Structure 1
Amino acid sequence: MSLGRIVLRAKLSAACYDSLLAVSGAAALKLARTFQPDLVLMDCSLPDMAGPDVCRALRADPQTAHIPIVLFSSDTGRETRLEALAAGADDVLRKPLDESYLLSRLRALLRKSSTERDYQSQGKTSLSLDLAHRKATTGPGARIALVCHDTASRGLAHDLSDRLYDQVVSLPEMLNPTRPEALPDVLLLSPDVIELHGLAIISELRSRELTRDLPIVALMPAPLRPLRGMALDLGAEEVLQEPFDDLETQLRLSSVVKRKLWADAMREALSAELDLATRDPLTALFNRRHGMLHLGRMMIPDDRQDRTPFALLLIDIDNFKRINDTFGHLAGDRVLIEVARRLNSVIRANDMLARYGGEEFLLTLPGLSASAARKMAERIRKSIESESFSVKGVPGALRVTVSIGVANHDPVARVSRKDHTLDMEALIDEADRALHQAKETGRNRVSMAVTPKVAQAACCLSHDHASAAVSARLPARQHRPAAPRATVY
């Protein structure tokens, strides 16, 4: 074992890093695949393989492709650096190693690596990883912005080719962006920004909500070279030094962009998977669990906001059991999908619609009074009744209707309980009783709940259309009294 590796391991141990030692390139590949280390430190000259060759092998293996790699060599001439960076190394350091800068570099790479690992650990399903891979490899390329104090002079980055960035923006534009949707993907901090504002501007950008996740590449003026490590510790992902080599800069920026696109892809894939966890697989509406959580949040008073009223609607498809019994469950599923589509076409963007269970739907209408909620419920009822359903497997047109129970929650008028779960249960019970009233009085109706504050009969809207019976060759049946509440509608 060489003295260099012993010393390096001792330095890493003193900094509280655990390390594994490999004496050859083949051993390094085996260790990396077996233990999945957080970072690989490797000499460019190994007994059996060149460092760049090992680097390429690690990048080609999906198990190790995202592990940060730092190569070091006594020869850090331009050709050596370019070969190592082209092979996929994140940095190339000169021996003997600058301990302070080395540790700063490791911390910067490990921060990014740990974020990626967090995404991967949360998205363990093949769905997340597949979505992320496709997004990262087929999505649009990243936009790089040169951030300057003086945009006219390009921030004193005169020897930096304008082919390496897509736009030039001023520092105030990045600190207070007026168009968040147009933010770049990577920030190049020009030398004049660093000279005039100091390295603290990096942590300032890191603290802003809109720029905290953007990779920052610091273009360090030559006199500030000793502060490279500080720039990394303050949040820069990469540090480039004057004079700038276009090809080396391009390779380093490419590495930054790849990590950024992968992190974005994993974030979006996880968001998509979390969204799927809140959705009903048949109708793509929110599922009952999400609906109840959303309703529970609406019930909790928030002194920071106006306590506006909202309405709760329980919507039930009339005679749905007869549809299933007559035409089969597949036809019933198609009816559910079409009802969900029509409901979605009527409600507002801030309304929350969930499949409550079976053929029943839950809808919250924030900001609506009882009278406004009744009008919305009528619009919903008519949207279902107005046009017959054309369902595959069902001969002829299928007439489908819904019954709706409406309950109103006024946080000012209602007596608030400490246990808001009881408030929510009471509100659902009111809407459920109103729905039952609509069913008992003929279906295809909107019925308003009787709240404890209102001592009058429930208001039930009647319509000329008497029944929600399906008209597509359903067998006739005799009239019978209204069923008890236990009956499944």
Structure 2
Amino acid sequence: MTAKVLVVDDVPVIRKILEAKLVAEFFEVIVAGSGQEAIEKAHAEQPDIVLLDVMMPDINGFEVCRRLKADPLTSHIPVVMITGLDQPSDRVAGLEAGADDFLSKPTNDVALFARVRNLVRLKTMSDELRLREVAGLSLGLGATADPVRDAAALQHAAILLVEEDAAVIEVVRQTLGRQLHLTVATNDAAARQAVQDRDWDLAIISLALPGQEGLRLCAYLRSSERLRQMPVLVLNRAGDDKTLLRAFDLGVNDYVARPIEKAELEARVKSQIRRKSYQDRLRQTMQMTVQLALVDPLTGLYNRRYLDSHMTAHDRAGEGRDAGTLAVMMLDIDHFKSINDRFGHAAGDAVLRQFAHRIRMNVRGIDLAARYGGEEFIIILPQTSADEARMIAERLVRVTANEPFQIGDGRELSVTVSIGVAVRALGEAAEQAVGRADAALYRSKAEGRDRVTVAP
């Protein structure tokens, strides 16, 4: 996977060496020689990842990282801090500044390329969600960064540790157990049962489990549609680059080398949980945006766009099969214009909402109800005969007429509905069945309303 990499270092020789290494791996490289230049180029170039030196003359790397992460235009860009400082406190300071990873000079090429490719992969996965968030924000959905929400995510995070070494388990408990909810599984079977029983905010998996169980578990999590979004941090023996590379190829998010440095483990765990909270918010915004695109906001039923797509899909699925088991029901509220004229549009909206609720309460889970337009509604009923469709339609006529509608200020209004029903004939498109149901609806209107007509 290629990407655009911003290399930031005040020493020209180091910039050239990193640039040459990355170009040889087919990355596009841009460079900056100071903290201020790095911030400006991050805004202008929108790189996929930033490799950032800590020790610079104008603005140190920690401050550059904080500024990039605080800016909505650059906060999504992964930052790897590269420095000659090798104390655990320095790594923790970088992670707490918002860095996604921390490498010491001289850089290990295996670790460098693994980190870059992994972080670019994760960024690519979230970029589409970010685009959806932009659309959602334009519709009033989504939210900006919320420290209170992020703190709550950390406080309530559920972490699964998969490790058999009692000493390592105790170190992780001492590090995380005071603040986070930690559960331990000592083997692959127990871990697989745990991930089926509940959802987790993070899995910490030892790569030292016998028989490569750790790698197999990573592969299992990434192959599951339900589990593949769960962050995975692995515990790896220092110097075992081969196993670590295989883990990154399987899609793990991060690693901590053994023996474990407690402060680094805590910082990396919190970084993963914050990222998951951010991506969960992006997905929630995307789901709300999709819902707005497909659901009628007044009634909560599907809209015409979704209905058309659904019928097209139904036609494709029914090719070569018996298509006569699909029933279509067209519904129209009687004299609806007079309701708006006499009582106002607010009363008309109240009638539409309550009528939609009665539809939902009186159709099956497999049926699809949509607002067709104005006061017209449509219900698609799969695996339904003409007699069954008539029975459901007549029930809707009764529940509409028998209970008055509330239109505000304590006022009640009696409302009736006319319905036309058609069953799709063999070889007939769903849209043609809709047309016949619509014709049957007009016959119900012509014959006095408040009734059901089934198309021949």
Normalising by structure 1, report the TM-score. Answer: 0.81
Q: Which has the higher helix share?
A: 2
Consecutive unaligned residues of structure 2, counting only runs of 5 or more, are: 1-10
Q: C-alpha displacement at 1:363, in angstroms? A: 0.7
Partner of 1:160: 172
Partner of 1:253: 269
Partner of 2:454: 448
1:131 is aligned to 2:142: yes
Letter in 2 for 1:430: R
SS at match of 1:374: helix
Q: C-alpha displacement at 1:306, in angstroms? A: 9.6
Pick from 27, 41, 47: which aligns with 2:51? 41
Partner of 1:67: 77
1:30 is aligned to 2:40: yes
Aligned-partner Cα distance in 2 for 1:59–1:68: 9
SS at match of 2:56: coil
1:143 is aligned to 2:149: no
Q: 1:165 to 1:195 in 2, by over 3 A?
A: farther
Q: C-alpha displacement at 1:436, in angstroms? A: 1.6
Q: 1:3 to 1:314 in 2, by over 3 A?
A: same
Contact 1:188 1:216 in 2 (8 A): yes
1:57 is aligned to 2:67: yes
Pick from 182, 189, 205: which aligns with 1:172? 189
Aligned-partner Cα distance in 2 for 1:197–1:189: 9
1:408 is aligned to 2:423: yes
1:197 is aligned to 2:207: no
Consecutive unaligned residues of structure 1, counting only runs of 5 or more, are: 417-421, 451-489
Letter in 1 for 2:391: K
Contact 2:205 2:214 in 1 (8 A): no
Q: C-alpha displacement at 1:13, in angstroms? A: 1.6
The number of residue pairs the alignment matches comes to: 436
1:391 is aligned to 2:391: no
Report % sequence identity: 34
Partner of 1:470: none
1:320 is aligned to 2:336: yes
Q: Which has the higher strand share?
A: 2
Q: C-alpha displacement at 1:384, in angstroms? A: 1.0
SS at match of 2:405: coil
Aligned-partner Cα distance in 2 for 1:101–1:188: 19
Aligned-partner Cα distance in 2 for 1:61–1:137: 18
Aligned-partner Cα distance in 1 for 2:122–2:106: 26
Aligned-partner Cα distance in 2 for 1:203–1:315: 51
Q: 1:396 to 1:330 in 2, by over 3 A?
A: closer
Q: 1:23 to 1:223 in 2, by over 3 A?
A: closer
Aligned-partner Cα distance in 2 for 1:332–1:258: 46
- Aligned positions of 1:25-424 closer than 5 A: 25-125=35-135, 126-127=137-138, 131=142, 133=144, 138=149, 140=153, 141-148=156-163, 150=164, 157-161=169-173, 163=177, 166-169=182-185, 170-175=187-192, 179=196, 182-193=198-209, 196-197=212-213, 199-222=215-238, 224=240, 227-301=243-317, 309-392=325-408, 396-409=411-424, 414-416=425-427, 423-424=429-430
Q: C-alpha displacement at 1:223, in angstroms? A: 6.5
Q: C-alpha displacement at 1:228, in angstroms? A: 2.7
Q: Which moved more, 1:33-42 or 1:214-223?
A: 214-223
Q: C-alpha displacement at 1:122, in angstroms? A: 3.0
Q: 1:49 to 1:136 in 2, by over 3 A?
A: closer
Aligned-partner Cα distance in 2 for 1:135–1:429: 51
Contact 1:146 1:165 in 2 (8 A): no
Contact 2:88 2:263 in 1 (8 A): no
Q: Deviations over 1:308-351 (max 9, x none)?
A: 82321101001112223333333322222221122222223332
Q: Cα RMSD over matched residues? A: 2.8
Q: C-alpha displacement at 1:406, in angstroms? A: 1.3
Letter in 1 for 2:325: P
Q: Deviations over 1:55-107 (max 9, x none)?
A: 11222222222211111112211221121122111222111111121011100
- Structure possessing the higher radius of gyration over alpha carbons: 1
SS at match of 1:70: strand
Partner of 2:6: none
Contact 2:188 2:213 in 1 (8 A): no
Q: C-alpha displacement at 1:189, in angstroms? A: 0.8
Contact 1:157 1:190 in 2 (8 A): no
1:433 is aligned to 2:435: no
Q: C-alpha displacement at 1:114, in angstroms? A: 1.3
Q: Deviations over 1:241-264 (max 9, x none)?
A: 111122210100111111112112
Q: Deviations over 1:372-404 (max 9, x none)?
A: 2222112211111111223137x9532110011
Aligned-partner Cα distance in 1 for 2:86–2:139: 39
